[in-house]
């Protein structure tokens, strides 16, 4: 059986969480959900615990206090790697990457030998990638800078959906906290590349810009600044 654990970092998501969408995702055989509550101050944790108590294949990892998405994802992946799942990964709580696309990415991760399968928001005819122009443009600038920082051709580092072969390599990559709070996706990819991992970007057929993003303009600027630091951390890592 293709076993998969999907980590969902959640911070103050009580208003946005659509548990029916997650219930639909659970229809995929072998798939389990691990929600990480990142010290939410609203009813998120109660909602998640109630959902987990009444639904098979759902777990909740509560963290206190709030540590940020990078650490919430890392803690979730560490927990997921303790189990037997062959593929582990993460998605955002708003399910901007719809369930069918999440399932398609997990299938690719199982079928292909790659270390990582990452969703990529490339808008071209025939796809339904719904992003505001401002976010799209900022995203393109950031992705170009991220490519330079990583010395790799990557189109979209910031899509929330990423899946990995559960392996020794992944355990090493998430063993230490990320330096970057806002560009940890880039740091994660860089750590994988430093170990010559194979990463495949998979263009999404659908992606929805769900309102209520918790990542504002300031954080995007911080993420850009983080890239400089990430580049030097990765150089050190490669020398090791």
Q: Does 95 sit near ligand GDP (CB under 6 A)? A: no
Total of residues contacting ligand GDP (CB under 6 A): 17
Closest Cα partner for 114 from 36, 166, 182?
A: 166
Distance CA 8, CA 33 (A): 7
Closest Cα partner for 202 from 144, 79, 119, 126?
A: 119
Whether residue 9 contacts residue 72, with contact meaning beta carbons closer than 8 Å, is answered with yes
Decide whether 69 or 162 has the Cβ nearer to ligand GDP.
69
Distance CA 193, CA 96 (A): 26
Whether residue 1 contacts residue 29, with contact meaning beta carbons closer than 8 Å, is answered with yes
Q: How many residues comprise the chain?
A: 240
For residue 93, the minimal CB distance to ligand GDP (Å) is 3
Q: Does 11 sit near ligand GDP (CB under 6 A)? A: yes
Query: In 3-state terms, what secondary structure has residue 149?
Result: helix
User: Using the rule CB under 6 A, which residue among 64, 144, 171, 213 binds ligand GDP?
Assistant: 213
User: Using the rule CB under 6 A, which residue among 4, 5, 7, 9 binds ligand GDP?
Assistant: 9
Decide whether 142 or 164 has the Cβ nearer to ligand GDP.
142
Q: Does 136 sit near ligand GDP (CB under 6 A)? A: no
Ramachandran area for residue 11 (φ above 0: left; ψ -120 to 50: alpha; else beta): beta
Whether residue 39 contacts residue 63, with contact meaning beta carbons closer than 8 Å, is answered with yes
For residue 20, the minimal CB distance to Mg ion (Å) is 18
Closest Cα partner for 6 from 31, 28, 36?
A: 31
Stretch that binds Mg ion, among 79-87, 118-126, 189-197, 212-220 (CB under 5 A): 212-220
Stretch that binds Mg ion, among 38-46, 85-93, 103-111, 133-141 (CB under 5 A): 85-93
Q: Does 215 sit near ligand GDP (CB under 6 A)? A: yes
Q: Does 204 sit near ligand GDP (CB under 6 A)? A: no
**Residues contributing to the site for Mg ion (CB under 5 A):** 92, 94, 96, 213
**Residues contributing to the site for ligand GDP (CB under 6 A):** 9-11, 13, 38, 66, 68-69, 72, 92-94, 96, 160, 213-215
């Amino acid at each position: 059986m293709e076993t998969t654990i999907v980590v969902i970092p959640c911070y103050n998501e009580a208003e946005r969480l659509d548990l029916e969408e997650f219930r639909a995702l659970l229809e995929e055989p072998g798939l389990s959900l691990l929600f990480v509550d990142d010290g939410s101050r609203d009813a998120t944790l109660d909602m998640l615990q109630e959902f987990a108590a009444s639904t098979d294949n759902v777990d909740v990892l509560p963290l206190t206090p709030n540590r940020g998405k990078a650490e919430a994802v890392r803690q979730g992946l560490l927990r997921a790697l303790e189990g037997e799942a062959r593929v582990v990964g993460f998605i955002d709580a708003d399910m901007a990457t719809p369930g069918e696309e999440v399932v398609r990415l997990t299938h690719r991760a199982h079928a292909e030998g790659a270390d990582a399968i990452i969703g990529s928001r490339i808008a071209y005819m025939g796809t339904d990638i719904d992003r505001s122009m401002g976010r799209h443009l900022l995203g393109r600038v950031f992705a170009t800078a991220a490519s330079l920082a990583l010395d790799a051709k990557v189109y979209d580092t910031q899509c929330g959906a990423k899946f990995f072969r559960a392996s020794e390599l992944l355990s090493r990559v998430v063993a230490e906290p990320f330096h970057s709070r806002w560009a940890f996706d880039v740091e994660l990819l860089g750590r994988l590349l430093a170990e010559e991992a194979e990463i495949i970007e998979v263009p999404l057929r659908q992606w929805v810009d769900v309102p209520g993003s918790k990542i504002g303009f300031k954080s995007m600027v911080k993420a850009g600044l983080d890239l400089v630091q990430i580049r030097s951390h990765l150089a050190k890592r490669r020398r090791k």
